[in-house]
Structure 1
C-alpha cells in the first residue's frame, strides 16, 4: 500500500504535537515491509524554492506552500491538472491520501486529491475544532468563556462584525469538502463526540490514539530522607491557551512553607511569538517566584527521558478543551503521573485518582490545592504510578491506521 500523509507543519521547523503525530505515522508506515509512505508538510515561504510551491527535503519528504487561515481555510495554490500539486500526486500514485490536518494547507487540497486520484482512499485526522470554531479552533468564546456547543448564532456573538448567515455558509462550505472524505480519525472520544454533534455521522469517525516512539519507563526519582515528591514540570508551547500563567499563578499562591518544598520547571517554546502583555505577565510571575520556578526554554524530543528522570509530576494548565495532548502520552511512557484540568481530552486521558489528578479548569487556586495534596498525601504518588497505563506506540498507531485504510468502503 502506498500512503501519502499531509501535515500542517514539519516537526523539523514546527514542533507541535500534531506535527509530530503525523510524522511518526508516516515514518512508521514506511518502515513496514508491505507498505510505502511519503510526507508532505506545509512550510513557510522562506523554506521553499524560489518559483515553485513544492520543495523536496529528501526522497520521500516534501514541503508545500500554504496560507489557508482559520476564517477561510482557502489555499491560493494552483490545483489544476497541470499544477505541481497534481504532478506530485501522479508521481506518488497513492492508494491512501491521509490529511493529518487541513489548516494552512487549505480544504481545496482534499477535493483536488480526489479528482486527481479518484481511486485513492481519503482520510482526515481531526485535531482541534477549527471546522466548528473560528476563534483559533479552541471553542473558547472571544470573552474568554468556554463554549459548550457552537451554532451560527452563538458564533456571531463572538464576532459581531459577521452575521449568523456568514457562519452558516462557512459551515456548509467546510462540510462540502468533508463529504468527500472516506473516513475521519479522532485521537479522543471527546473530540469525536464534538464533531458528531456538529454533524459528522458517527460511523465515519474512528478513534485512534496518536503514537510515540517506544520509551523505557523510568523508576521514580530517588529522594532523600525527609524529602517530598515536590518536583513539578510543565512541557509544551508557551501561550495563553496552554495556561502556563495559570500554573505560575498556582505556584505563586502556595504557602511559604510549601514553596520551600517544591519546584516548578518550565520547558517550552513560543513565548517570543505571544502578545507583549502576555510576555510581561510571564516574566513578572517568573521574577516574583524565581526561588522555586525555573524557565528552561525549548527542548527536543530526544531529551525527554533525561528531563523526566529529574521530575516527579507533569503539570498541564490548558484553558481549552484539549483533544489528546502529546505530553500526557510522554508522561505515561516515562512513568510520571499527570495533573491536568478537568475538561476535554485531558480529563479523558488522565483518570482522576488513578493515573493522575484533576483540578477545576482555569482555577489557579484549585490547582494550588491539588499541588499541596500531591505533595502531602501519604501513599498517593505510589498509587498513581501503579495506575499509569501503557502509552500508545508508533507501532500501535500504525497498525490501527493500516486496518482502517484496508477497511474503508470507497462507496460509502
Structure 2
C-alpha cells in the first residue's frame, strides 16, 4: 500500500485557515478510504508554541497518524529554519515515515532547506506541492500588496526592493532560490486558475501546474423555500472570516455606515451579521470605526456548522482587499446554496463568476450599492441561487488528485532530472 504524508504549515486544531483545512480534509478522506495516510501540521510561531508545548517538547500527537510540530518561526524572506539543528530534526522526523508520497500544502514552517534535503534523502518518493498563495513570489507575506496598501500586479527586483527596503540583488537571488525549490517537486497544484497564471507569469514553466479545486464534503439537498422564507433571507447578509486587515471587514462596516447615512427607505430591515469575529476584536483592529446599527457580531463558530449557518442568509459577503486564491468560504457558500457579493480580484472573481455579484475591491461605496441592489429582492435571490453549482466533493478531489499526480494504484516513480543540492 502506498504511504502518504500530508504536510501543512499549520494545524486546524490550533488555527483555522483555508490551506490547513483543505490539507486536513484531504487527510481525513484518505483515512476513510483505508489509505496508509498521516498528517503533519505545525504551530505558526513562538506565540503558539508557548501556549501548547511544554519545555523541550517538539511534537503533539493528536492520534497515531496526526501530528503537530512546534513551529520555531520563520523568516518569510529566506524561507529557512533559523537554526540548522531545527532543520536537522524536521528532516529526520519527516524521513522516518519512509513515505511513497509527500504532499506539502505550503512550505512555511517547513523551509526550503528542509524540502531540498528531504528530496535528496528520498529520491524515489513522490513530492507534491499545493500552492495556496503567493509566498514564493512575494516576500511581503505572500499577499502581493505593497506596504502602502496598494495592490501589486507583478513582482520585479526593483519594485520589490522599493517596497521592502532591500537591495534588488536580494530579490534576484530569492526568486532563483524559490524557483529551484519548486523544481524539486514532481507535481505542483493550484486550487485556482488565477494562481496558476500568476506563477507562470513569474517564471514557473507552463504545464507544470495543475488546477484542482480544494475538496469539500457537503450535502446539496434541493430545498423548496416559500416566498416568505426567501423574502426573509433576502434582507439578511453575513460575513464569515477573521479580523485581519486583508479580509476587508472594515470595508463592509464602512459600506453599512454609508447605507445607514443615506436613510434610504427599505422594504424590510437590513441585517449584516459578522461570524468569526467579536465586537471587541473588531474594536482593537479598527478603534476609530463606529459600528452601524444594522451590523451584529456573532463571534466564533464551529467550522462544521458553517454551511448550515449560511443557509439562513440571502447573501454572503467576501470583501477581502488582497488576492485571495480559493477561499474556503466560497465553497461553503456554494454548498449552502447562498450567493455571494465579492471583491472583483483574484480567486474571488474567478470562483464567484456567474452566480455571485462583484464590486470594486476596497470600495465601500461600491459594496453599499451592491448590497442595496439585491436587498429585499426575492427574484434576484432566486435567480442567483439557481445558478450555483455544488463545489467539488472530496471523492471528486481525490480522483482528480490521483490522476494529476499519477498515483492511481502505483508506487511513486523515481524522480528523473531533479536537481538536488
Structure possessing the higher relative contact order (Cα contacts under 8 Å, 6 or more residues apart):
2
Counterparts of 1:12-411 in structure 2, within 5 Å, are 12-33=13-34, 35-43=35-43, 44-46=48-50, 47-66=52-71, 67-76=73-82, 78=84, 83-159=88-164, 161-217=165-221, 219=223, 224=228, 229-254=234-259, 255-256=262-263, 257-258=265-266, 261-269=269-277, 276=284, 278-281=285-288, 284-286=289-291, 289-290=292-293, 292-351=294-353, 354-375=354-375, 377=377, 379-406=379-406, 410-411=415-416
Query: How many residues are paired up?
Result: 401
* CA shift in 2, pair 1:344/1:369, >3 Å: same
Please say if residues 53 and 77 of structure 1, whose CA atoms lie closer than 8 Å, have aligned partners that are also in contact. no
Task: Output the CA distance in 2 between the equivalents of 1:345 and 1:377.
Answer: 27
Instruction: Give the whole-Å Cα distance in 1 for the aligned partners of 2:377 and 2:138.
Output: 40
Secondary structure of 1:142 counterpart: coil
Distance 1:122 1:252 in 2: 49
Name the CA distance, whole Å, in 2 between partners of 1:6 and 1:270: 31
Change (3 A) 1:314 1:8: same
Q: Is the 8 A contact 1:124 1:185 kept in 2?
A: yes
Partner of 2:161, secondary structure, is helix
Q: What is the CA distance between 1:49 and its match in structure 2?
A: 4.8
Q: Is the 8 A contact 2:135 2:142 kept in 1?
A: yes
3-state SS of 1:406 partner: coil
TM-score normalised to the size of structure 2?
0.88
Q: Which sections of structure 2, spanning at least 5 residues, go unmatched?
A: none
Contact 1:49–1:55 (CA under 8 A) maintained in structure 2: no
Could you tell me which runs of 5 or more consecutive residues in structure 1 were left unpaired when the two chains were aligned. none
Alpha carbons of structure 1 residues 391 and 279: separation in structure 2 relative to 1, 3 Å: same
> How far is the alpha carbon of 1:76 from its aligned partner?
3.5
Contact 1:65–1:105 under 8 Å retained in 2: no
Cα distance per residue 1:215-247 (max 9 Å; x no partner): 344747656497571100000111110100111
More deviation, 181-190/133-142: 133-142
Please tell me the root mean square deviation across aligned C-alpha atoms, in Å.
2.5
2:22/2:215 contact within 8 Å kept: yes
Give SS of 1:280's match: coil
Matched, 1:4 2:8: no
